[in-house]
Structure 1
Amino acid sequence: MQFERQFFADNQDEIDIMPIVPLNEDEMSEDDKKKLPSELIVLPIRNMVLFPNVVLPITASREKSIQALLQAEKNGKYIGVISQRDSNNKNPKYNDINKIGTVAEIIKQIKMPDNSTTVFIRGRIRFEIEEWVSDEPFFKAKVKYLNDELPNSNDKEFIAMSDSVKEFAEQIIKKSTNIPPEASIMIRNINNINFLHHFIASNLNCDSKEKQLLLEENDFKKRTENLLRLLQIELQHVELKNKITSKTNGELDKQQKEYFLNQQLKAIQDELGGDGNDREIKDLQKRAEQKKFSESAKEMFQKGIEKLQRMHPSTPDYSTIYNHLDLLLDLPWDEYTEDIYDIKKARKVLDHDHYGMNKIKDRILEYLAVLKLKGDMKSPILCFIGPPGIGKTSLGKSIANAIGRKYIRLSLGGMHDESELRGHRKTYIGAMPGRIIQSLRKVKSSNPVFILDELDKLGRDYRGEPSSALLEVLDPEQNNSFYDNYLELDYDLSKVLFIATANSISEIQPALRDRLEIIDLSGYALEEKIEIAKKHLVPKQKEAHGLLKFSIKIPNTSIAKLIQEYTKESGVRELERQIASLMRNSAMKIALDENIQKIEITEEDVEEILGKPKYTNELYQKSNPPGVAIGLAWTSVGGVILFIESVLSHGKGNLTLTGNLGNVMKESATTALSYIQAHTKELKIDSQKLENSNIHIHVPEGATPKDGPSAGVTMLTTMVSALTGKIVKPFLAMTGEITLRGQVLPVGGIKEKVLAAKRAGMKEILLCDQNEKDVLEINPSYIKGLKFHYVSNMLDVLKIAIPK
């Protein structure tokens, strides 16, 4: 129960202070009831319920509430007070207000300095809303008044329940530490049963919805039953609270006893001439003699030892200081692994573990070469950007093996708390060093290869932004003095070879991106995946399934079928899973028939084991009508071809775009149309036809979102084809961004797009002349048979795409 409480609603909308006992317990007379109006001004209140005969002070700050109180006082001081269903709703509508409330008599109104109004109201009689009349400038409704009829005075069950209500209320008051004992006297002196129940209900420490249910119950006997139930719940809550408090006090007494006993133990040890922590301190000092410290670390260690010598092992700070000194001794302050400068051997190790990726391998070997010649240099901060599953993380481990260094991997995905990197201050319970210092402590080396995995998946919230902490770690000019909050010393990270990995460069904070040496990695081509499967994945899965002594052969055609029809990815993770399925099937065959020593898995076997193909490559159809052109697109799982279609219909020159296109792609189409409208003569397009035709561009697979600028040339080509009635050159794919001046601009993802065109059976590819350098980076054997056209403007595009 709450005999002393103060509740503030949102924005001090209503304030509920202790319900006050009126001097007069008499209920409203029949004559007074007849004088009540049939229409009442209604005041919605929140988080409380007014009961008949109970006095409440309420502070109203909503303009509508203030106007309602002022008008009600003018009309005769009666107002309908009713509880809102949702206490968080600051602007309630009719449906947000309960139907049953209490008519209140305004006793006194006080204007407050903050323009709010405090009013003392006394509940008189319950009412029910029959019909809403208005909600401006305040709520007004037609109401029906509800009388409370007490059960027969001879009803022994009701009399017993009423006595129980009073007894429970007195027990709650007696057992509650925050309710004055005078409240019991107040309860005993209330003679009116109706008012007694309402007053106790008003003071109940329960949800306002429970109180509203009490108010709405017309059967007084049932209302008493519900009140008794709520009182029982509150009594149990009070008893449980007292029990917990008693137990907590007992725990405190126990801790005090332990403290005094520990103090006595310390005195006995001092008398015997020995100290329990001497052995631990001597062990720390012995380890420190063999440690190469920095001067600042040595000074901090000595101060820590002096503090330990003055402390008893049972004191809370003893373990904190001991753990900190233990960390100082465990860290590899001046301990380095010796690099392997044999560049040929390093190249051999890298080639053995990973196929391709020559750009990264060359960069690592360059670093080794400079290190060999110079002897000492700051480590580069590399960042591998590429799609999932292409081996960015595992390449870091191979680099560590190639140059003879220890390997650390720290996954940053989903990390939100900056303290995970920088550590927590020692003063906090359970404080630890950051993950970077912990990792160095574990590998016992100050120059490991440190992989910061999933750099683009870092989170940020109220606990800090981990990417900001990495600004210091990944800056070669600053990381020689990295400060960890737990260590409380600068630590030199300049010899650590940091390698970050990420899927998307756009998700990396710009300031952090500026500190990284970005190396872009594209997905694997079909030929590359076949080689990876033969040299790495198949032998690995044979060993994993115990098949090394058996001859399991998977021809290139079967591997190609696996890649093209059962996987759709830039990397090889799913391919490895499919190869594992083939190996499990082979293992089962060998287990069933011990005479089998050799198995060859053909294309038919692949389909029999793995089921029907999951994916099919969209092949080019030669017989395309005018208005259809082939574009190239990049996705996270590789390149794809796009059929872009245009049709004309009679209209007023409107442009319609469908196919789940993004804003950039829509703007490319608008740019292409504007270019056509401005150059109808050069393009030999009938301007009258263009003006009187609507153009509809559609990109199939409408459920797949598409965006980007690279479809600009394709959209312009398909519109010109539709307007001139000429078909686009067969087996030609194209990609490039366009401008209003008709220039063709370079785009990205060229390798994936070109390989997608090759897979789809295209023979010619049209690109911006600035993309020629990207084509030269592709292995010539992968693009054999393809003819490339390099252009700089749209007129050149149309000469090739729509020949005369």
Structure 2
Amino acid sequence: MPFFRRMEETAQRPVEEKPEPLAELRKAIAEARLPEHARQAVTKELERLDKTDPSVAEYSVGYNWVQFVLALPWNAATPDNLDLARAERVLNEDHFGLSRVKERVLEHLAASIMVSSRPRRVLVVDDERIALDNMAYVLGKDGHEVLTAENGRQAMEVLARTECDLVITDLKMNQMDGLELLERLKAASPQTELILVTGFATVDTAVNALKKGAAHYLPKPLNLDVLRSVSRDILDAKAKSRVARGPILCFSGPPGTGKTSIGRGVAAALGRKFIRLSMAGLRDEAELRGHRRTYVGAMPGRILAELKRAEVNNPVFMLDEVDKIGKDFRGDPASVLLEVLDPEQNRRFLDYYLDMPFDLSGVMFITTANVVEELPRPLYDRMEAIPFQSYTPLEKRRIARDYIAPRQMHGAGLRTKDLSFTDAALDTVIDGYTREAGLRNLDREIGSLCRKVDLQVLAGKLRLPASLDAAEVTALLGPPRFRPEAAARADAVGVATGLVYSEYGGQILFIETARMAGGGGLMLTGSLGEVLKESAQTALSYIRSRAGELGIAPNFFKECDIHVHIPAGAIPKDGPSAGVTIAVALVSLLSDRPARSDVAMTGEMTLSGRLLPVGGLREKLLAAQRAGVMTVVLPKANEIEWRVLDEDVRQAVRVVFAETAIEAIKEALQP
């Protein structure tokens, strides 16, 4: 029968050998340079997979885990470019201004370069001259600075005069043996590593030496290649830990001031890869630490996943917007960062999916935040804040002409010689169409101008090359969206102009007051915080105690109610720096003297009328300039800080320093 014949033919064919699904993993494990604890873990998992049916879910979970472990960059690193002049050139190529920020970054890089280029000093101790010379010779060929001693007593004398990174000593020596030298070394210099070499190798001796703090134990006859390899690994790990112990940089400042781009510049200057991870809105700590493999669909955390994607273990890793991390029932991501950003802990970072320590000490972490005060205190203590300040109008004009305009013209299909902007045109865009501390809106408006020029050219209404002036900018972009608030407002009774600093830079605000018949009530509106409410109470009490000196009827408060309002009621406001502004507005109201609209002020006021220093001075002065304010009243205690500001910031407005509220009132009110 044909059916049986076909069955017989099928049975006679040789069975094709199926390739073993784990063979490639075994080969990859053998070739990978895994740490010993990782090699043991994947070998154990592979043995378990070998006994597991491939059709069950646990098989694929284990298989994927082994692949993930093998894909991690356990030993892959990019060599640092230790050329400080190149680093400065790279930072200046793409970033104008920010001189203080660049200086701080270069200081950090200089410290890393000094640590990395520091000579590695090795002390070799052995009472056999030939062995001593051989070890000193091979270590010297590796570029180490080698010192020698013939016994433990001589070694301690050398260590008393010179700091060494590594000591390599024989066990059996005259006067002082290797174990006694180890004990004295760890007592005198715990950071110095020691390798013990002996021809009397026993398990007990090795265990005893390692318990006392020895970094490694090598038997005789000594393999010099093994000695070189072990010494190099120990010294590399020590140098790596010294570099990693530098502070974690935290770039803080308003949006659009160049925090992320400076981070990219640091990576380019060092020759490292760059990773950016946004922390804004992150609420589940498993996003950073991963899920345990027992869960269905478990995945590693974002930190190890990004390192796997980068394929190196020493990138520049930017944690963006760390001040906007959330917290709920799923955990606290900020607590994970306490481990990640701590040099003492991140050498053994534990991702729940990986379930074994991974060394993050080679990663250069940089964080960014708009308001560092919103960071948890333990997290903030692990970082060094580098403030990014607002750009001045002159800096914005220079950046717009040299950086933004050429890039936007290229994106719009225009050549740099096709289109140009006059200074007045750029000033019109900066003052009339943007109101920001950074450059993002300026970038968008110049891009919009370039696209509108494209439309005009294609419609035959404009011929290239062209130069845009202020009037043409207004014709293309429409009426200006912003105008100087203070310059457009007339002097008024009971209304004073204040200066504040927020996460978006400096801003002005108007404090409005009114009085009506009543019995001594004080109403405060405008979404005011507790500190701001107390500032208003302090200002009113000061005025009541000095009513005669200020030309106000002593019993004014018995016959009226006073209402203090700060516009933009939907926006929460708080802080002590509006105290003097509230006092000026109230004195203006109660004495019926108009407050000058071209004068703005800032300062915390005490009950006795003294003015205390405030922060955000540079941003507040730039905000006053943008608003058309001519004079700014500052506390006398801020004068030293004002004198170190850039010349263009100090010349932006006229500054008057006041020690008391009386001096500020005289300057701000009309006679």
Partner of 1:189: none
Q: 1:291 to 1:735 in 2, by over 3 A?
A: same
Partner of 1:26: none
2:386 counterpart of 1:483: no
Q: Is contact 2:35-2:74 (8 Å) kept?
A: yes
2:19 counterpart of 1:276: yes
Aligned equivalents of 1:790 and 1:389: distance in 2? Answer: 31
Q: Is contact 2:290-2:351 (8 Å) kept?
A: yes
Partner of 2:226: none
Which residue identity does 1:464 align to in structure 2? Answer: G
Q: Identify which of 357, 360, 367 aligns with 2:98.
A: 357
Q: Is contact 1:586-1:599 (8 Å) kept?
A: no
SS in 2 for 1:452: strand
SS in 2 for 1:367: helix
Q: Deviations over 1:770-801 (max 9, x none)?
A: 33354345321133163323334334434544
Aligned equivalents of 1:514 and 1:771: distance in 2? Answer: 26
Partner of 1:201: none
SS in 2 for 1:292: coil
Q: CA deviation at 1:573?
A: 1.7
Q: CA deviation at 1:566?
A: 1.6
Aligned equivalents of 1:700 and 1:605: distance in 2? Answer: 34
Partner of 2:498: 631
Q: CA deviation at 1:473?
A: 0.7
Moved more, 556-565 or 486-495: 556-565
2:109 counterpart of 1:368: yes
Which residue identity does 1:399 align to in structure 2? Answer: V
Q: Identify which of 87, 96, 99 aligns with 1:346.
A: 87
Unmatched runs of 5 consecutive residues or more in structure 2: 1-10, 117-238
Unmatched runs of 5 consecutive residues or more in structure 1: 1-267
Q: CA deviation at 1:422?
A: 1.1
Higher RCO by CA contacts (8 Å cutoff, separation 6 or greater): 2
SS in 2 for 1:518: strand
Q: Is contact 1:632-1:642 (8 Å) kept?
A: yes
Q: Is contact 2:618-2:649 (8 Å) kept?
A: no
Q: 1:398 to 1:274 in 2, by over 3 A?
A: same
Q: Is contact 2:406-2:416 (8 Å) kept?
A: no
Q: Is contact 2:492-2:596 (8 Å) kept?
A: no
Aligned equivalents of 1:328 and 1:785: distance in 2? Answer: 58
Aligned equivalents of 2:302 and 2:86: distance in 1? Answer: 32
SS in 2 for 1:741: coil
Matches within 5 A, 1:15-26: none
Aligned equivalents of 2:275 and 2:26: distance in 1? Answer: 29
Q: Is contact 1:408-1:451 (8 Å) kept?
A: yes
Q: Deviations over 1:316-337 (max 9, x none)?
A: 3333222222222211112221
Partner of 1:316: 57
Q: Is contact 1:751-1:774 (8 Å) kept?
A: no
Aligned equivalents of 2:575 and 2:420: distance in 1? Answer: 43
Aligned equivalents of 1:594 and 1:692: distance in 2? Answer: 68
Q: 1:517 to 1:583 in 2, by over 3 A?
A: same
Q: CA deviation at 1:481?
A: 0.6
Which residue identity does 2:599 align to in structure 1? Answer: L
Aligned equivalents of 1:656 and 1:284: distance in 2? Answer: 74
Q: Deviations over 1:667-715 (max 9, x none)?
A: 3222111112223355454424555455444545667664432221012
Q: 1:650 to 1:428 in 2, by over 3 A?
A: closer
Partner of 1:450: 317
Q: 1:380 to 1:273 in 2, by over 3 A?
A: farther
Aligned equivalents of 1:785 and 1:429: distance in 2? Answer: 61
Aligned equivalents of 2:58 and 2:30: distance in 1? Answer: 24
Q: Is contact 1:729-1:803 (8 Å) kept?
A: yes
Q: CA deviation at 1:436?
A: 0.7
Q: CA deviation at 1:389?
A: 2.4
SS in 2 for 1:475: coil
Which residue identity does 1:500 align to in structure 2? Answer: T
Q: Deviations over 1:434-458 (max 9, x none)?
A: 1111111111111101111221232
Aligned equivalents of 2:300 and 2:516: distance in 1? Answer: 69
Which residue identity does 1:402 align to in structure 2? Answer: A
Q: TM-score, normalised by structure 2?
A: 0.73
Q: Deviations over 1:7-53 (max 9, x none)?
A: xxxxxxxxxxxxxxxxxxxxxxxxxxxxxxxxxxxxxxxxxxxxxxx
SS in 2 for 1:477: coil
Q: Is contact 1:523-1:637 (8 Å) kept?
A: no
Partner of 1:569: 436
Partner of 1:783: 650
Q: 1:689 to 1:297 in 2, by over 3 A?
A: closer
Q: Is contact 1:276-1:313 (8 Å) kept?
A: no
2:167 counterpart of 1:300: no
SS in 2 for 1:680: coil
Q: CA deviation at 1:736?
A: 0.8
Identical positions, percent = 42
Q: Is contact 2:624-2:653 (8 Å) kept?
A: no
Matches within 5 A, 1:756-775: 756-775=623-642
Aligned equivalents of 1:625 and 1:506: distance in 2? Answer: 36
Aligned equivalents of 1:421 and 1:351: distance in 2? Answer: 34
Q: Is contact 2:286-2:301 (8 Å) kept?
A: yes
SS in 2 for 1:619: helix
SS in 1 for 2:486: coil
Matches within 5 A, 1:316-465: 316-375=57-116, 376=239, 377-378=243-244, 379-465=246-332
Which residue identity does 2:45 align to in structure 1? Answer: G
Q: CA deviation at 1:759?
A: 2.8
SS in 2 for 1:429: coil
Matches within 5 A, 1:172-211: none
Q: Deviations over 1:390-421 (max 9, x none)?
A: 22222221211111111111122222322221
Aligned equivalents of 1:559 and 1:734: distance in 2? Answer: 29
Q: Is contact 1:651-1:694 (8 Å) kept?
A: yes
Moved more, 434-443 or 651-660: 651-660
Q: Is contact 1:737-1:746 (8 Å) kept?
A: yes
Aligned equivalents of 1:469 and 1:505: distance in 2? Answer: 18
Aligned length: 533
Aligned equivalents of 1:301 and 1:471: distance in 2? Answer: 29
Q: Is contact 2:501-2:620 (8 Å) kept?
A: yes
Q: Is contact 2:409-2:416 (8 Å) kept?
A: no
Q: CA deviation at 1:630?
A: 2.7
Aligned equivalents of 1:699 and 1:374: distance in 2? Answer: 53
Q: 1:706 to 1:298 in 2, by over 3 A?
A: closer
Q: CA deviation at 1:539?
A: 1.2
Moved more, 771-780 or 450-459: 771-780
Q: Is contact 1:422-1:434 (8 Å) kept?
A: yes
Q: Deviations over 1:246-292 (max 9, x none)?
A: xxxxxxxxxxxxxxxxxxxxxx9xx9796632xx5443343334432
Aligned equivalents of 2:82 and 2:640: distance in 1? Answer: 33
Moved more, 644-653 or 604-613: 644-653
Partner of 2:215: none
Which residue identity does 2:277 align to in structure 1? Answer: L
Q: CA deviation at 1:587?
A: 1.9
Q: 1:644 to 1:702 in 2, by over 3 A?
A: same
Aligned equivalents of 1:785 and 1:526: distance in 2? Answer: 10
Q: Is contact 1:690-1:723 (8 Å) kept?
A: no
Which residue identity does 1:374 align to in structure 2? Answer: V
Aligned equivalents of 2:15 and 2:569: distance in 1? Answer: 87
Q: CA deviation at 1:626?
A: 5.2
Q: Is contact 2:603-2:611 (8 Å) kept?
A: yes
Instruction: Point out the structure with max Rg over C-alpha.
Output: 1
SS in 2 for 1:687: coil
Which residue identity does 2:305 align to in structure 1? Answer: Q
Aligned equivalents of 1:565 and 1:745: distance in 2? Answer: 34
Q: Is contact 2:636-2:657 (8 Å) kept?
A: yes
Q: TM-score, normalised by structure 1?
A: 0.61
Moved more, 297-306 or 651-660: 651-660
Q: CA deviation at 1:531?
A: 2.0
Q: CA deviation at 1:562?
A: 1.4
Q: Identify which of 389, 412, 415 aligns with 1:548.
A: 415
Which residue identity does 2:312 align to in structure 1? Answer: S
Moved more, 368-377 or 380-389: 380-389
Q: CA deviation at 1:386?
A: 2.0
RMSD: 3.0
Q: CA deviation at 1:613?
A: 1.8
Which residue identity does 1:528 align to in structure 2? Answer: E
Aligned equivalents of 2:281 and 2:492: distance in 1? Answer: 50
